[in-house]
């Protein structure tokens, strides 16, 4: 027989499996000195499991439920309602009913209670499940309590709760329901206390939301709340709302809405002193649980009672600084077009590659720029460099500088921060320089491929660590840096001077199409050639439309034309198969590992293009550039001192066209090397799995590189560490990293300071000139792209893996990006008008809407 009831005094936060998240937190809260919690008890998950065991056909229904897609709303609604009706219809056995109602004798049988669901997957550090299950207030009498306990059990299968579990990967069978039965309090005021500001994420600012009566009115959105911001023991901001309604206990049970008399509607629900006192209680609770809390409170006779506390799951973690000083961090992912969470092996390898101090938080990397901002000597250069790359980062940093009280005061000792490699002098145009750099990189990669197969065990990890130094030598080669900086500076020169001399904005964008040696844009055009090899073979095309197995390439030779199709795809993968979405994370699956990812792209090219489109597109871009160059030079020659201006412009155009394509090569070389490392490390992981050191090969993704070295040396691994890292990674994926973050946890959102835009325009950074109008395709997963000719791609960010889509679109809008990031470079290469850094573009623009992209001026219009 199970244990069906536990009092709060018997419960602590380790008992989530028995009393659910809400129950465990209430038990733990009742143990904190100075925190008042209304008395109560929990009906444990043992009781729920007993009821589930008596439910007819429940296993079959749970099987059907688990197979549904979270988007299959109709089927979820019908099946979840069926399960709820079944559970509510089961009579509670007498011994169980007696156990549930037994504590009421001591607490008061005729008292009023709150009966609240408490699921085992609820109020977790990684998922709140807030509002997913049911709560009932002012429940009076044993019979009513039993009835509402049944309703709480059934609420585990509300449509919203089922959908939430499906979306977040929770198994319906592994989530159980406990029920909290707690004495009701009837407060003058109630509300929510966040121990970190929910708007800015600042951990030093507590936010109190308050209204009259029961807090359910506020939680359900029935009333507006007063808001108090409390910092360092004082209210620093206050907003008092007009409160027309309050939720009160109804005489017959339950609650009812009551109007607040007009003379009190604009009264504050709390005094400043009460708000400060409440914030202090919140800090005590936060300290006990070790992380910021979302706390439900009630004010009764000038005393506060706490009826719930849960972790705030939406806050982005703070990089660990190891001191009490103020710090300012800038996101690396926004520079690298990879804002997704990375696994520990990917993070550590990227840190080893970058070779400069970086800080991990929330599965992302950040650079500490505090000293650069604080030193007058380096501040201007830092703001200019980061602001030119991403104006929102630049503006956010300027906001911090203007606060004056956050940054330390440093003496003017010279630059504390400078771009890697400094600012090298431009080099004169010579195509042999680029050819030499590419050749040396390819020879080094070939040597790696030749030598690494002989390595295994600890020797393999040592070899990879040593080879990373060769990778760094190539990445940070001063001549390589001079090449792309020369192209960037020539681009800036052309844009500034063509605007000053000819009144033409972003002229360099029209001069960067079809440049040589751009390995990423060549990749997109080469996939058009793959489509050409497949298009004549209808059996192959039909087969590819239903491909799911990654081994499909081995099946192709059985079809007419299949051998040629397979060879074309494999040849493409030999050159580009090391790439993938989020490719700077070595743990991400590569195209060579998941070739099915390419199939929709190939089929799209067959549908949208005629044979020979790749070659034609490159030549058309080259002809457009030549025409634009002739036009600009002719106009310049007509100006005073025109021959000199035209000759300078011609030299800069040559630099752009000779050197800008190389901008994509260093990353291509790095990712190529990463794939060689990954293949060797996965072989080593296979050895560890066969030796039963690892449960599965992919467990190495949750170890840092140096931890993996230790595992290879000792043949021992900490399973709990890996499990914890997996849980953490799942929670990190749901977080949105800020561009700029402070050590207070405040996410600083920059802004575009522009007032020259049409009403309703979405502002961003202009990176590829021109204006285009078309259908917006909002795409978050490249593998699900379904494009038609003329579409405009709207997405969060693009890295090189998105390039095959660029051949099929007419314009580009992204939420993240800068002048020299991947999407901008390839958009100019293909002649696509593009605006990047458009905040919340994928939410503000709906899929299928007509939009106009102003790539020259940097904004997007949503058309009627």
Output the six-digit token pair for 757.
Answer: 């835009």
Q: Are 362 and 341 in contact (CB under 8 A)?
A: yes
What is the full DSSP assignment across 436-464?
HHHHHHHHHHHHHHHHGGG--HHHHHHHH
* SS3 (DSSP) at 276: helix
Using CA atoms of 69, 72, 77, 79 in order, give the dihedral in degrees to the nearest 10.
-50
Output the six-digit token pair for 157.
Answer: 């299968």
Output the six-digit token pair for 643.
Answer: 């021959």
Output the six-digit token pair for 799.
Answer: 């890295």
Residue 264 has φ and ψ, to the nearest 5°, of -105, -5
- Cα 113 to Cα 861: distance, rounded to the nearest angstrom: 54
* SS3 (DSSP) at 510: helix
Catalytic residue list: 822
pLDDT given for residue 151 in this prediction: 93
Phi-psi region of 298 (alpha: psi -120 to 50; beta: other; left: phi over 0): beta
- What are the mean pLDDT values of the chain's consecutive 10-residue runs (864 residues total)? 87 92 94 95 94 84 84 88 89 94 92 92 47 79 95 90 82 87 94 94 96 80 88 96 86 83 92 97 96 95 94 92 92 92 97 93 97 92 91 96 88 51 68 95 98 97 98 96 92 96 94 94 96 97 95 96 97 97 96 96 94 95 96 97 96 95 94 98 97 97 98 96 95 94 95 90 95 96 87 94 93 91 90 95 96 97 94
Residue 294 has φ and ψ, to the nearest 5°, of -110, 110
Task: Residue 42: name the closest of 9, 78, 71 by CA.
Answer: 9
Using CA atoms of 429, 433, 438, 439 in order, give the dihedral in degrees to the nearest 10.
150
- Read off the DSSP letter of residue 316: P
Cβ count within 10 A of residue 600: 20
Q: Quick one: CA dihedral 275, 278, 284, 287, positive or negative? A: negative
* SS3 (DSSP) at 654: helix
pLDDT given for residue 70 in this prediction: 84
Q: How far is CA 260 from the centre of its chain?
A: 43
Output the six-digit token pair for 765.
Answer: 């950074």
- Read off the DSSP letter of residue 15: G
- Cα 52 to Cα 49: distance, rounded to the nearest angstrom: 5
Residue 98 has φ and ψ, to the nearest 5°, of -65, -40
Output the six-digit token pair for 229.
Answer: 């911001």
Sheet containing strand 5-7, edge to edge, reads: 5-7, 40-43, 177-183, 112-119, 135-140
First CA to last CA across the chain, in angstroms?
66
- pTM, rounded to two decimals: 0.88
Q: Are 817 and 797 in contact (CB under 8 A)?
A: yes
Cα 232 to Cα 203, 277, 467, 583, 698: the distances in Å are 11, 12, 51, 44, 46
- Distant-in-sequence, close-in-space partners of 278: CB < 8 Å, separation ≥ 6: 193, 208, 270, 297, 304
What is the full DSSP assignment across 122-178?
SS-SS---TTSS-EEEEEESHHHHHHHHHHHHHGGG-HHHHHHHHHHT--GGG--EE
- Cα 90 to Cα 101: distance, rounded to the nearest angstrom: 17
pLDDT given for residue 425 in this prediction: 65
């Amino acid at each position: 027989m199970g244990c069906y009831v536990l009092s709060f005094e018997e419960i602590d936060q380790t008992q989530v499996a028995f009393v659910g998240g809400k129950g465990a937190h209430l038990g733990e809260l009742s143990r904190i000195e100075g925190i008042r919690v209304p008395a109560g008890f929990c009906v444990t998950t043992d009781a729920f499991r007993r009821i589930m065991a008596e439910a007819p056909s429940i296993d079959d229904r749970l099987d059907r439920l688990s197979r549904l897609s979270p988007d299959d709303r109709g089927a979820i609604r019908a099946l979840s309602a069926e399960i709820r009706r079944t559970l509510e219809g089961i009579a509670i056995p007498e011994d169980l009913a007696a156990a549930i109602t037994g504590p009421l004798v001591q607490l008061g049988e005729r008292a009023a209670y709150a009966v609240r669901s408490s699921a085992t997957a609820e109020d977790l550090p990684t998922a709140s499940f807030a509002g997913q299950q049911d709560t009932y207030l002012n429940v009076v009498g044993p019979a009513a309590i039993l009835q509402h306990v049944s309703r709480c059990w059934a609420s585990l299968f509300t449509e919203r709760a089922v959908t939430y579990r499906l979306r977040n990967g929770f198994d319906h069978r592994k989530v159980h329901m406990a029920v909290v039965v707690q004495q009701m309090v009837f407060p003058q005021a109630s509300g929510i206390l966040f121990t970190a500001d929910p708007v800015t994420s600042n951990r030093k600012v507590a936010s109190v939301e308050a209204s009259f009566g029961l807090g359910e009115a506020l939680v359900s959105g029935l009333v507006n709340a007063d808001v108090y911001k409390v910092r360092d023991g004082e209210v620093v901001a206050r907003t008092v709302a007009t409160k027309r309604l309050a939720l009160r206990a109804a005489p017959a049970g339950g609650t009812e809405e009551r109007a607040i008399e007009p003379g009190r509607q604009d009264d504050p629900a709390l005094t400043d002193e009460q708000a400060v006192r409440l914030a202090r209680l919140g800090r005590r609770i936060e300290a006990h649980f070790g992380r910021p809390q979302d706390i439900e409170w009630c004010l009764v006779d000038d005393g506060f009672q706490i009826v719930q506390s849960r972790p705030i799951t939406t806050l982005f973690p703070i990089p660990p600084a190891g001191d009490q000083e103020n710090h300012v961090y800038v996101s690396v992912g926004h520079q690298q077009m990879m804002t997704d969470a990375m696994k520990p092996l990917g993070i550590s390898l990227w840190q080893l590659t970058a070779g400069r101090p970086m800080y991990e938080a929330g599965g992302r990397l950040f650079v500490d720029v505090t000293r650069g901002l604080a030193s007058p000597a380096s501040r201007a250069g830092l703001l200019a460099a980061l602001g030119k790359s991403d104006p929102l980062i630049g503006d956010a940093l300027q906001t911090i500088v203007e606060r004056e009280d956050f940054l330390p005061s440093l003496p003017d000792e010279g630059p504390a921060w400078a771009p890697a490699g400094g600012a090298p002098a431009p080099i004169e145009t010579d195509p042999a320089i680029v050819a030499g750099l590419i050749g040396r990189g390819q020879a080094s990669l070939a040597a790696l491929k030749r030598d690494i197969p002989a390595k295994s065990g600890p020797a393999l990890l040592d070899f990879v660590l040593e080879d990373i130094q060769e990778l760094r030598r190539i990445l940070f080669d001063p001549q390589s840096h001079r090449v792309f900086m020369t192209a960037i500076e020539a681009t800036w020169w052309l844009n500034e001077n063509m605007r000053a001399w000819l009144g033409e904005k972003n002229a360099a964008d029209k001069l960067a199409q079809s440049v040589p040696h751009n390995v990423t844009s060549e990749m997109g055009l080469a996939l058009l050639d793959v489509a050409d090899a497949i298009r004549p073979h209808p059996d192959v095309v039909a087969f590819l439309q239903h491909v799911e197995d990654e081994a499909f390439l081995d099946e192709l030779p059985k079809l007419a034309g299949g051998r040629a199709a397979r060879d074309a795809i494999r040849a493409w993968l030999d050159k580009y198969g090391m790439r993938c979405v989020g490719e700077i994370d070595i743990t991400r699956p590569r195209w060579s590992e998941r070739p099915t990812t390419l199939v929709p792209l190939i089929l799209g090219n067959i549908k949208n293009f005629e044979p020979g489109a790749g070659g034609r597109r490159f030549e058309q871009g080259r002809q457009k550039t030549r025409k634009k160059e002739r036009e600009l030079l002719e106009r310049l020659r007509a100006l005073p001192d025109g021959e000199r201006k035209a000759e300078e412009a011609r030299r800069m155009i040559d630099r752009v066209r000779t050197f800008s394509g190389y901008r994509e090569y260093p990353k291509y070389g790095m990712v190529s090397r990463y794939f060689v490392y990954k293949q060797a490390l996965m072989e080593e992981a296979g050895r560890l799995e066969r030796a039963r050191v690892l449960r599965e090969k992919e467990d190495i993704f949750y170890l840092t590189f140096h931890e993996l070295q230790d595992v290879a040396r000792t043949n021992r691994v900490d399973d709990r560490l890996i499990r914890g890292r997996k849980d953490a990674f799942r929670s990190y994926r749901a977080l949105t990293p800020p561009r700029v973050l402070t050590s207070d946890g405040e996410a600083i959102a920059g802004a575009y300071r522009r007032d020259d835009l049409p009403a309703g325009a979405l502002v961003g950074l202009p990176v590829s000139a021109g204006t285009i109008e078309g259908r917006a395709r909002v795409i978050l997963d490249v593998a699900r792209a379904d494009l038609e000719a003329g579409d405009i791609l709207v997405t969060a960010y693009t890295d090189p893996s998105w390039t095959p889509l660029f051949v099929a679109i007419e314009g580009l809008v992204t939420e993240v990006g800068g002048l020299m990031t991947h999407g901008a470079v390839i958009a100019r290469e293909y002649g696509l008008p593009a605006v990047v850094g458009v905040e919340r573009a994928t939410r503000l623009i709906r899929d299928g809407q007509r939009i106009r992209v102003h790539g020259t001026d940097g904004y997007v219009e949503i058309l009627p």
